Structures are given as structure tokens and as C-alpha cells.
Amino acid sequence: MNPSPPEKILIIQTAFIGDVILTTPLIEATKMIFPNADIHFLTIPATANLVESHPNVDKCLIFDKRGRNRGMLNLFRFAQQLKAERYDLALIPHRSLRSAMLVFLANVPQRIGFDRSAGSFLFTQKIKYPQHVHEVDRNLTLLQQFHKHLPKLMPRIFPTSADARLVEEFLNENGLTSAKFLIAIAPGSVWATKRWLKEGYAELCAKLKPHRELKIILVGGAADRELCDWIRQHSGSSAINTAGKFSLRQSADLIRRCCLLVTNDSGPMHLGVAMKTQVIALFGPTVRDFGFFPCGDTDIVIEKNVYCRPCSIHGGNECPTGTFSCMTSITADEIYDNIIKILAL
């Protein structure tokens, strides 16, 4: 006799922006397999904006692991709130001990996560962590016992009509709606060694300046505002700095309206993929083999095969060799040449 399908499912991803975006195909696949189930998604305050408008998410739960939910006592209290929801199944792509403890303490009867999780001993089923595959496909293996042949799924973000109106107003106010080509440039990253040189971005903007049919929008979070200002000022271009101006969904809608996104290996890169904007990604300390590369059919990764790559899955705040050669070897000329070729300028 087959067990009853789960009626209430919890998915947990409390890592970075990119990790949450790359979990959206898991949301979609879960709904495909269990169309009648309620799906709840647990994430952190900084990324809730990405999933609360998702049509397959019935409830977005916020776990403030750096703030009000910090510490073991608060984790236990939060787990009791989850327990009251009476979930049948939890899917845990995030590989932290904290995430595993939450679903264990919440007494979720079926808890599926990766064998490389720090809390894998708390799962009812451990899935072998697949290496050398894209993170999207890796996350979908958590559902392998329920469905063997899922269709190809891509990350997706769902800006609301209010998000779209705000972005439209911004474009109108800045005279950007008439531009033949809009290019987004995202020069920031949480990790310092993932950032291509600010001088390089300024040079790229300067090289693009003579193309009057092309407008540049600098995108990023509030922490990138100063960096984007520096690039705009030192490029002599009319690039518009939007860093910190928009929410994640609004930034996604802005990127959607661009024909091209130039970005580091960072959150905006995944926003570009989710909104089907062609991506040129600059990879330094990280490599595609980790599984976090842009997965659109026409996306491009520019990287240099220096001997010390990769240094870690996230990069770091300082280059271990002191050379930063993985990034300094990338030139504005080769990025410019790719842009000219793509846009046929």
C-alpha cells in the first residue's frame, strides 16, 4: 500500500541570495509532484522578497538567524512554531546544522537532505551530494524517490505588478525607455575576491560610452552604492547608479528589461538567469565545476585558468597568493568585444 502523499511541505534555504534563487526550481518541481500540497518556504529576512511572490509558495517563513532567532534557545522556540504547522515532509538543500536541527526539533516525520550536511545524522533520508553538476539539478535530487524524470527547470523570480510599475516609472524619469539597448552591470559581491577590478568596470563603461544607442545601469545592493558611484565617476559615462534603490524583485524586473548583464559570480548573476537576460559572468576564485555558473543557453563565463584556481567555493576577502591574477588577467577589451558581438554593434 502506497503511503499518502504529503499535504504540507517545508523547504529550507537560509543561505545567500544566489542559493535561494537556485532553489526556486525545487519549489516548482515539488508542486509538480505534489500539486495538492501546501508548500512553505523558510528563508532569512534578506531573501524573503525573492520567494514571497512565488505562485507555488503558500507561505514564506522568515528565520532571522543573525538577529531575533539567534542562539539555541531562540532556535528551539522557532522549531516549536514549525512543529505547530504539522509538516509531513521537509526538503533541506541548505547544508547547515542549524537547518537540520530545525526540522528535527519540529518533529517533521520525513526529513530529506544531503549527506554532506553538517546535520545529516538528523535526517530520515540522506541523499548523496552530487558533484560536478549544476546546483539546480543537485537540489532536484532531493525529490528523486518521488519522481525520476523531471523536466528541465530554470530559476524563476516573480516580480509583482507593483514592482514593475515602480521600475517603469524609474525608467521613464531617467529617459531610458527609448534606449535601443540597456545593459546592466553588477560590480559587487559579498566576497572581495569575487569582484573584478573597479578600474576594469570603469574602463568598460568608458569604452561603451561612444555607442549612443546603448545605456548602462549599475545594479546592486546598498553596500554597492559607493562602488557604483566610483565606477560612474571614473568612467566619464552617463551610467545610472541604482545600487540600493530597489528590492531584489524590483532589481530582477529592472534586469529583465536589459538585453545584457555583466556581473561577477554573485547574486545579480542568478537574478539575470532567472529573468532570462543574457549574462556575461566574470569568474575569478571560483569555477564552473562548483555548479553555480549561469545556466542560460547563451550565457558566457569569462575566466582565466591560472594555476591557483579555485581557492574556495566562495572566494575570500584576500587573495591567498597576493597576486589576484585570476581577476587581473581579465581585460575590459575582451568583455567589450563580447558585448559588441552579442549586440551586433
pTM, two decimals, is 0.95
> What was the pLDDT predicted at 1?
44
pLDDT at 216 over 90: yes
CA dist 91 → 18, 67, 96, 143, 332 (Å): 18, 24, 13, 8, 42
For residue 80 the three cell numbers come to 516549536
Residue 225 has φ and ψ, to the nearest 5°, of -60, -50
Residues of the chain with CATH 3.40.50.2000: 8-143, 163-343
Mean predicted lDDT score pLDDT of the chain: 95
CA dist 73 → 64, 68, 69, 168 (Å): 13, 11, 8, 45
233-237-242 Cα angle (round to 5): 70
Superfamily of chain region 8-143: Glycogen Phosphorylase B; (3.40.50.2000)
pLDDT at 194 over 80: yes
Question: Contact 3/11 with Cβ under 8 angstroms?
Answer: no
Distance CA 270, CA 198 (A): 21
pLDDT in tens, 84-114: 999 999 999 999 999 999 999 999 999 999 9
Sheet holding 300-302, edge to edge: 240-241, 214-218, 181-186, 260-264, 278-282, 300-302
pLDDT in tens, 133-148: 999 999 999 999 998 7
Tell me the CATH number for domain 163-343.
3.40.50.2000
Distance CA 147, CA 140 (A): 10
For residue 144 the three cell numbers come to 528523486
Instruction: Please list, residue by residue across 91-108, b when 16 or more beta carbons sit within 10 angstroms of its beta carbon and e when fewer do.
Output: bbbbbbebbbbbbbbbeb
CA dist 137 → 256, 264, 322, 331, 337 (Å): 23, 22, 35, 32, 32
Average the pLDDT over 32-40 and give the result: 97
> What was the pLDDT predicted at 117?
95
pLDDT in tens, 121-131: 999 999 999 99
How sure is the predictor about 333, in pLDDT bands with cuts at 50, 70 and 90?
very high
pLDDT at 2 over 60: no
> What was the pLDDT predicted at 344?
86
pLDDT higher at 178 or 56: 56
